């Protein structure tokens, strides 16, 4: 080979080396976009390309881990849960951006939750909620919902701690709603936790308030209202009707009155 072709080959390889970080950065952005669109397999492929640049490796591994957690939630294929754990283990957290460090804690919490370690998962979600990373209101609401769901699952398997656990949920949701009245997660979990600890009047009153408060949420309650409606009609109204009627009495009349009141509220504020 002549000197000129060798020079051209050297320049070409140098250009590839210089271009590699740019390619990795672009693929990392693409991986995040695909993850946010719930295209988890494609997100993993893009993140794998982003790993070619050491500066992007840990951020890419975080996307791979969280995408595999979502794949497990969809399929319950244990290999996805294992892949998520291996990716989380491989991450050097000191290389993550501040926001990604918060997402890493959420990823650890999700792994524990999906592995049925709900109490430990709640502790990690609690830590993530306490961090000052910019998750945005939607991101915070997702973590808050994870935390409350983990606490709910924990309460179901530790009956001796049931009352204290649901009280923690109520206390946190009260605080959250004072700071962020637009929170869908807090609006749902305040009546849900009140009902679970036996405070049915609080559950009923806070559910009514939640239906109206949904108007200040960014989505105008589109996520909240179907779940809230189901909670009220299948749990809060039947249980509160039995409480009002008392032992040995038919709760149907009380339930009918509350159902009518609930229907009128929805119609008036639909």
Please check whether residue 48 lies inside any domain of the structure. Answer: yes
Residue 253's pLDDT is what? 94
Alpha-carbon distance 61 to 74, whole Å?
A: 20
Looking at residue 118, its pLDDT comes to 97
Same domain, 259 and 221: yes
Task: Examine residue 20 and state whether it is found in any structural domain, yes or no.
Answer: no
Let me know whether 54 and 101 are in one domain: no
Instruction: Please tell me the predicted confidence (pLDDT) of residue 246.
Output: 87
- More confident position, 15 or 77: 77
Residues 154 and 119: beta-carbon distance below 8 Å: yes
Co-location of 33 and 52 in the same domain: yes
The average pLDDT across 45-65 equals 94
Q: In the predicted model, is pLDDT for residue 13 greater than 90?
A: no
The model's pLDDT over 216-259, given as tens digits with 9 standing for 90+, comes to 999 999 999 999 999 999 999 999 999 999 888 899 999 999 99
**Considering its fold, how many domains does the chain have in total?**
3
Q: Report the chain's mean pLDDT, rounded to a whole number.
A: 90
Q: What percentage of the chain carries pLDDT values higher than 70?
A: 90
CA angle 28, 30, 34 (to 5 degrees): 120
The range of the structural domain enclosing residue 119 comes to 97-157
Label residue 81 by pLDDT band (50, 70, 90).
very high
Record the pTM: 0.87
- Is the per-residue pLDDT at 76 higher than 70? yes
Distances (CA, A) of 164 to 144, 175, 180: 18, 17, 24
CA distance 116 to 269: 39
Choose the final residue of a domain: 133, 157, 181.
157
Instruction: Single out the residue in 56, 81, 96 at which a domain terminates.
Output: 96
Q: In this structure, how many other beta carbons lie within 10 angstroms of the beta carbon of residue 101?
A: 17
Under 8 Å between Cβ of 87 and 61 = yes
Q: With 70 as the cut, is the pLDDT of residue 4 above it? A: no
Handedness of CA 120, 126, 130, 136 (dihedral sign): positive
Position 248 scores a pLDDT of 83
Give the mean pLDDT of 61-68: 97
Same domain, 210 and 265: yes
Residues 139 and 214 in one domain: no
Q: What's the rounded Cα separation, in Å, for the pair 14 and 199?
A: 69
pLDDT band at 25 (very low <50, low <70, confident <90, very high): confident
Instruction: Look at residue 42 and tell me if it is in a domain.
Output: yes
pLDDT tens for residues 180-222?
999 999 999 999 999 999 999 999 999 999 999 999 999 999 9
Q: Is there a single domain that holds both residue 113 and residue 88?
A: no
Query: pLDDT tens, 88-145?
Result: 999 999 999 988 999 999 999 999 999 999 999 999 999 999 875 556 668 899 999 9
Domain boundary among 113, 135, 157: 157
Per-residue pLDDT at 9 exceeds 60: no
Residue 5 lies in a domain: no
Give the lowest-confidence range in 18-27, 62-71, 229-238, 260-269: 18-27
Is residue 239 assigned to a domain? Answer: yes
- Answer yes or no: is 206 within a domain: yes
C-alpha distances out from residue 242 to 163, 191, 228, Å: 21, 17, 20
pLDDT band (50, 70, 90) for residue 23 = confident
Give the separation between CA 12 and CA 3, rounded to whole angstroms.
14
DSSP code at position 234: I
Residues 236 and 254 reside in one and the same domain: yes
């Amino acid at each position: 080979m002549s000197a000129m072709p060798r020079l051209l080959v050297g320049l070409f390889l140098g250009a590839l080396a210089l271009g590699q970080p740019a390619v990795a950065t672009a693929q990392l952005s693409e991986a995040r976009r695909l993850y946010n669109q719930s295209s988890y397999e494609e997100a993993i492929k893009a993140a794998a390309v982003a790993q070619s640049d050491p500066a992007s490796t840990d951020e890419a591994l975080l996307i791979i881990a969280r995408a595999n957690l979502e794949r497990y939630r969809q399929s319950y294929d244990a290999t996805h849960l294992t892949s998520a754990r291996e990716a989380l283990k491989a991450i050097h957290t000191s290389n993550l951006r501040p926001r990604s460090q918060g997402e890493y804690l959420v990823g650890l919490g999700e792994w524990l939750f999906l592995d049925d370690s709900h109490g430990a998962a709640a502790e990690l979600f609690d830590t993530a909620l306490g961090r000052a990373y910019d998750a945005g209101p939607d991101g915070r609401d997702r973590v808050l919902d994870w935390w409350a769901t983990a606490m709910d699952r924990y309460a179901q398997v530790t009956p001796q701690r049931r009352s204290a656990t649901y009280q923690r949920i109520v206390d946190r949701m009260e605080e959250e709603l004072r700071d962020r009245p637009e929170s869908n997660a807090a609006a749902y979990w305040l009546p849900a936790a009140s009902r679970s600890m036996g405070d049915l009047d609080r559950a009923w009153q806070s559910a009514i308030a939640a239906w109206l408060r949904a108007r200040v949420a960014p989505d105008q309650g589109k996520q909240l209202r179907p779940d809230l409606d189901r909670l009220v009609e299948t749990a809060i109204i039947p249980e509160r009707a039995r409480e009002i009627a008392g032992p040995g009495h038919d709760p149907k009349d009380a339930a009918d009155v509350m159902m009518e009141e609930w229907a009128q509220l929805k119609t008036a504020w639909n």
